[in-house]
Amino acid sequence: MSGPRRKVAITGLGMVTPVGNDVATTWENLQAGRSGCGSIEHFDASGFSTTIGAEVRGFDFSSASADRKLLKYASRSHAFALAAARQALDDAGIAPGGADAARWGLAVGAGMMSVGYDELREVGRQCAPDGEFSADGFLDPSFPGDPVAFCRCQSNSGLGLLAREFGIEGYSTSVHTACASGGQAIGTAMKVMRRGHCDFMLAGGFDSMLNPIGISGFCLLGALSTDNDDPQRASRPFDVTRNGFVLGEGAGFLVLEDWDAARARGATIYAELAGDGNSLSCYRITDSPPDGNGPIQAINQAMADAGLGPESVDYVNAHGTSTLMNDKSECAGLKAVMGSSIDQVHVSSTKSCMGHLIAAAGAVEAAVCALAIRDGVAPVSANVRELDPECDVNVVTGESRRVRIRAALSNSLGFGGSNSSLVFRHPEEVS
């Protein structure tokens, strides 16, 4: 007969985002409702209908790792991941190594496109047939190819770089479920620990689709805001005038460890990672069902896994992309699950400040939930001037709210219908 279920503690956080290259700066700016959105600077976006994004700025790529050879294989988003993961481990005050290396695991949500435009150019040059498709140098065989660029493009490259950098030898997996990737990676890490396969997990997500391919694809879908003249207000989840999301980039990582072991070593515990839920909407590749059915399943699973009812949830970090259908669907799902408790649940979307970090979103927003619990703050959902009547939930508008958060819920709803929900519990609520 099995014993009591293992509890999982969050003891370390790391973030690289459009509003800060570390946890403290990111959290300060999110609480203040400061936007990281602006005109795209690291490539020429003038030919696209959307010329704005939420870029990581002032980031020193050379500082992501002291291993120069390893950095050669790192893309833009891999460097974000290495830096955020290092922050999380330093924050937790523990690190893999020695006899414990095999008891450490790694679960990452990796980008929808783990390759950037520059890597595609280099790989194309290597593989081009004689003279074919050589306009503007792309696929031009007169340029030498770059095998390192090819390695950088692999979907599990980030996973391998992180394992190598930190000496992790245990369970590892790379999750690719679009915008749900980061959340599902963290949920996977929790389940691995509950099964006893690992005592520690480094879990998170990373992404950067801010390149000509990523922008052009989302422009073709009509998913991006075209408010190029007002970028700081372009991301406005739940507002009646919202017209699309702002594409962002970044990384977020959590250190997870056995609850009892963390307490025994005197670790600072942000929260318990208490519940995980996943579903597939099977509706449209770009939209959640209008009635919120897919999100409803994921939220119900996560709350049941945590053993909590609607009356116990004080804060929801919503997926809240600022697209018309997504926000309506998610609010319908929240109202269906929370029932009569919905007016007491504080809801915000921090994408209003950071933009949509795609595969990194769920991981960064999980870290935000842990901070919200620690500090008793529901961060503001910025830029809401007139709430959409179909999003009539208790949205945190104007400024952040002081509120004791017993339990928090984080939703990540991905392209293709993948849905992830995570539940976090205040340490004082854990028996």
Establish whether 426 is a catalytic residue: no
Question: What is d(CA 416, CA 410) in angstroms, rounded to the nearest whole number?
Answer: 19
Residue from 78, 176, 346, 356 carrying the catalytic annotation? 356
Establish whether 42 is a catalytic residue: no
Residues 163, 166, 168: CA angle, nearest 5 degrees:
50
Among the listed residues 239, 257, 407, 389, the one whose alpha carbon sits nearest the alpha carbon of residue 338: 407
Strand partners, 377: 402
Residue from 78, 176, 319, 346 carrying the catalytic annotation? 319
Q: At 257, list the tokens.
A: 């460890």
Q: Residue 328's Cα: distance from chain center in Å? A: 21
Establish whether 356 is a catalytic residue: yes
Q: At 84, list the tokens.
A: 């955020």
Q: Please give the C-alpha separations between residue 74 and each of 8, 150, 173, 284, in angstroms, as whole numbers.
A: 30, 11, 18, 33
Residue 162 backbone dihedrals phi, psi, to 5 degrees = -65, -45
Question: What is d(CA 268, CA 278) in angstroms, rounded to the nearest whole number?
Answer: 29
Residue from 179, 198, 369, 391 carrying the catalytic annotation? 179
Question: What is d(CA 239, CA 254) in angstroms, rounded to the nearest whole number?
Answer: 31
Residue reference for tokens 């999982």: 8
Question: What is d(CA 403, CA 334) in angstroms, rounded to the nearest whole number?
Answer: 19
Characterize the bridge pairing of strands 200-208 and 249-258: antiparallel
Residue-wise DSSP of 179-238: GGHHHHHHHHHHHHHHTTS-SEEEEEEEEE--SHHHHHHHHHHT-B---TT-GGGT--TT
Q: At a CB cut-off of 8 Å and minimum separation 6, what does 223 contact?
A: 244, 245, 286, 323
Strand partners, 108: 174, 204
Residue 163 backbone dihedrals phi, psi, to 5 degrees = -60, -45
Catalytic residues: 179, 319, 356
